[in-house]
Amino acid sequence: MAAYTLVTASENTPAFRLMNAAITGNLKRLKIAANELDDGEGLVKVYSNVQDWEGRKALHYAAVGGYIHICKYLVGELKVDVYMKDGKGDTALHHATLGWKLPTAAYLIDNGANPNSANDKGSTALHYAADTGHKDLLQLLISRGAEIDADSESGTPLHSAVAHGRKEAIKVLLNSKANPNSVSQHFITPLYLAVLYQSIECVKLLLKAGADPNTGSCGITPLGKAASKGENEVIKCLLRAGANANYGSTPLETAALNGNDEGVAILFPVTSPIPTIPDWSPDGVLKHVFSVEAIQQRELKMKENSSLWKSKGDEAFRRKDYLNAIYWYGQVSKANPSNATVLSNSSLCWSLLKEGHNALSDAETCIRLRPDWAKAHYRAGVAWRLLKNHVQATEAFSDANKLDPENEEILSALRESVGSKFGIPTGKNMKVMHL
């Protein structure tokens, strides 16, 4: 359940008093503050314009707090726009859902709120209800027309429920005909996600609903992922559901490489003999994967596949499938840890996914490999900017500019970062001076 902290203007201003009244459910004080702010253009404009630093307005605060009387005043009496969005694209219905406020959510829908309105990341109120596992809110939203398989950056509501281990929410969604084989924008199915988060209960629910045990992500099946994590009960569950144990680099080899003796014992009887393993027995497999010959074979294969993996990463990037691109670039890095180009590409992908910490990690490794490469410092600047550290971003962009002073993209980023750092507007005529 969401709990907001009011961060806005000074406590001595009418704007603060208005927002504080909304967050505490005090209608009388809300009206007094709004009248103080009204410059003659009407109260609707006041309630539409006054906001906190995240773009949340009085209606959003009232919704998350479950203050129906304030929602009725704003939406029903004044006709404030019920579709009004905050800085992240969330509507009042999103906020009521986050706050677990069922009656408020119902009121908003009855008065025009669209249950399929999506925020900047594509998430609807149903995604939020699945995130938190609120069964009654899920049922309300579905009954009022919420799209059961609405897609967002993180997948469908079913993906959201699985990622947070919300078993009751998963049951509601599956009973409402959610697709157990839906694929997220990053080519991950709910079943793969359940294995990734090591939830056998979720795995069982999805398999019972018809999830395909052989649909994986980035070339790895759910069975392969279970083998790598040592989830032996999940392995048994997947095998009973028809998982193929002979796909690619087999789950048997993966289990052996991860020292999972029990997993090897489970997978061995259902795996076809592998010609490169001379002693075809569980002990033979465990010994072989750590032999000098097997290690050399894996290293050689990785080097041979590097160009293929790089092209797969580039292809995924062109499709805007950034998570798959990161996977393939990561495979290249394993084969050739000194390849700075793929680290730069991986950092870019993480940045596009708004994952600042991961973007910075790859960028900093790239800088260690090629400290004189402007692009590596630029990638670090972008990552710092995502993390809202304008001091470090400015330093990184400045380092990039020193190495490539004619690059307009770098110079533009440096100007923008300096403006954010010092809170001043900057333009093309700004001169850059390096100390």
Q: Is the pLDDT of residue 8 over 70?
A: no
CATH of the domain spanning 180-290: 1.25.40.20
CATH 1.25.40.20 domain extents, the chain:
1-114, 180-290
Choosing among 3.40.50.620, 3.60.15.10, 1.25.40.20, 3.40.50.261, the CATH entry for 1-114 is 1.25.40.20
Q: What is the pLDDT of residue 433?
A: 43
Residue type, 417: S
**Percent of the chain with pLDDT strictly greater than 70:** 92
Q: Is 152 helix (H, G, I), strand (E, B) or coil?
A: strand
Residue 293 tokens read as 């010959």
- Residue pLDDT, tens place only, 98-142: 999 999 999 999 999 999 999 998 999 999 999 999 999 999 999
Picking from 301, 291, 297, 219, the residue whose alpha carbon sits closest to that of residue 256 is: 291
Q: Is the pLDDT of residue 1 over 60?
A: no
List 220's β-bridge partners, or say none.
217
Q: What is the pLDDT of residue 432?
A: 47
Give the pLDDT band of residue 321 (cuts 50, 70, 90). Answer: confident
Q: Is 216 helix (H, G, I), strand (E, B) or coil?
A: coil
Residue type, 257: L
Q: What is the DSSP string of 36-63?
A: HH--SS-HHHHHHH---TT---HHHHHH
- Residue pLDDT, tens place only, 163-206: 999 999 999 999 999 999 998 766 689 999 999 999 999 999 99
Handedness of CA 128, 129, 134, 136 (dihedral sign): positive
